[in-house]
Chain A
Amino acid sequence: MSTDTFQPIASRPPPESQLGWKAWVRRSFFDGWGNTALTVFTLIALLLVVPPLVQWAVIYAIPDADNDACRAAHGIGACWGVVAEKGRLILFGRFPYEEQWRASLASLALVVLLVLSCLRALWRPALVVAWIGVLSLFFVLMRGGVFGLSPVETARWGGLPLTLLLSTVSLVLAFPLSILLALGRQSHLPAIRTLCVLFIELVRGVPLISVLFMASFILPLFMPQGTTIDVLARVLIGMTLFAAAYLAEVIRGGLQAVPKGQLEAAQSLGLSYWQTQRMIVLPQALRLVVPAMVNTFIGVFKDTSLVTIVSLYDLTGAVQLALGDADWRKFFLEGQLFVAALYFVACFAMSRYSVWLEQHLNTGTRRQ
């Protein structure tokens, strides 16, 4: 046994040159000739672009809806007044002016419902009732004709409520359909499998715009003689079919990722096909593909802008409509940027939510 005791070396802080923000700056920006050149080049580019941008967007901008002031400042300062002036047209499309309170109430209700649905704590059967209730309220408020509300035809629905309606309803309808399609694609029955594959590949192989055209022009031909189908309904059907095909592929990826042992265990327990799918396979499969599903939701939300091409004025279409006004047409960029910002906020929030959801749903799959 040795007589001298062991002297453990205490932890010391790293030398000055390694620590702190100065070292980080040096490592990140000035690390070698190439990196330094890149930093300098980027800084120069930013200096050329950012100050004029800030000047235009903020410093010399006109916040009031003053057409003359805006014209005077054209090219020098942004005219955010166009948002104030045309805001209601952009947000609600061609919905009658006096009834727009109904549209905003309906949108608010739907947004609140969506946000609340994101909270895990509220995932209970009562939520389904809430969904049915709010969607019915939405339709009643927008359509009118009852409870003393004046009727507003669906062709006049537009702006934010239309975007929300299209995305929400088409996704809600597409979801069960996509599960059936995904299961059908995995099926052992050749006829079912072929039909599902054909549908999915057909819808995924063509642009959304042609699906919408098909829905707009061909669906009326399918109707029995004498009946017509609502414009909005046609578009909804088209979007639903489109979303269902894409979601089906996402869910199929999840189904394939569920280990085969799960199926074997369920079969050995005596569960039927539908019981197995409902209680064992689908919960696991869906949990696995949450990020991909939310990506698809974001995609559908953005794709609702295409209804502009079939003359339904959602948020994107409404701003084009609003800028038809010759007086305010010069300030199209500010209007478009406003709508772009709305989309950005919504989509960005959804993608952040997807990240959060993925982390929280996986707490059951990792050892604590």
Chain B
Amino acid sequence: MKTKQLGNSDLFITPVRFGASAIGSSAWEQSAAAIHHALELLARISQGAVTVLAVILVAVIAWFDYVTGDFSLAVFYLVPVVLATWYAGRVSGWFIGVLSAAAWLVGDPALSRAYGHPLMPYWNAAMLALTYGIVAYLLSTLHRLQAELQERVDRRTASLAEVHHRVKNNLQIISSLLMLQAEKLSNAADKAVFDECRDRVYSMARLHEQLYSSGEFSDLDFATHLREMAEMLVRSHTAQGCILAVDVRADPVAVDLDTGVTLGLIANELLLNALKHGFAGRPAGKLTVELHGGNRNEMIVRDDGRGLPTGFDATKNAGLGVELVLGMTRQIRGEARIENDSAGGTRATIFFPSLLPLETVKTEPQSKPTYHD
């Protein structure tokens, strides 16, 4: 879920969503939006104009106070006090506080009646002024703290963005070095190893890109990454002369950065494996990639190729790619199944836990991978 960063002038009032069943929820939303819009307008006008508006508001409340007689409206003077303090500063808040107390004194019809002591109404007005002054002081302090906090958050966000930028630049350097080193090799198979390494670096970089672009810096939708990666690998690794049909069906699945990087590398290995071994020497083929969410997420990479060799044992005679897949799946507390598909070809399924609070994830038992020939 994307969250809106509060600006310094957002006060406490933001549009609040109530359940759809709440009575007049749309009216509520409209009112909240109108208030929000009004507050945004207030934030844009000058401090002097806000103070003038607060003075007018005090006059209106004083008039109501006068016409309603004995009913106390003292609490309503807090509205102009709060607005003046938040949008025009502490001094303006104090001024409106004193003005409100004076207006209350003038507007209170009890003034014309006999008090137990002639100074009592003035004492009461002074107490009101003090109360408004304290409110203005506390609110202006809160406003200052909020502004400081916002500034810190902005600085951290900028630093984090810079870190992501540095990470991507460094990944570019690694990718460049791999390319330059690969040039020195004459054997095509050796070069292919370096190309695979570059693909892995590329996968990690794209994930950082997605995280950085989303502005969330913590969670991301793995479906977007999976689609992009499948497209990129198919474009660059499809066997020559093979017409490949690619079907990617990916539901949105939220993952954190660590899981995303590991899962991205797993997907990279599975896709490369399918592209390298599933379609070699064939005129056409089909590659299916699926991602499904739920209590336990599921990623499937399936080809319609020759399938696994007889007696295949992922734990014994598999290559580096499968070894990495098994290790990384354990790392994300998942389960890997690499098996022959009933419709022909190879099917690799990675089950992995849904994004949960860290404490919950830590207490989950580790599941061991299972392999099926």
Asked if A and B are interacting partners, one says no
Interface set of B (CB-CB < 8 Å, partner A): none
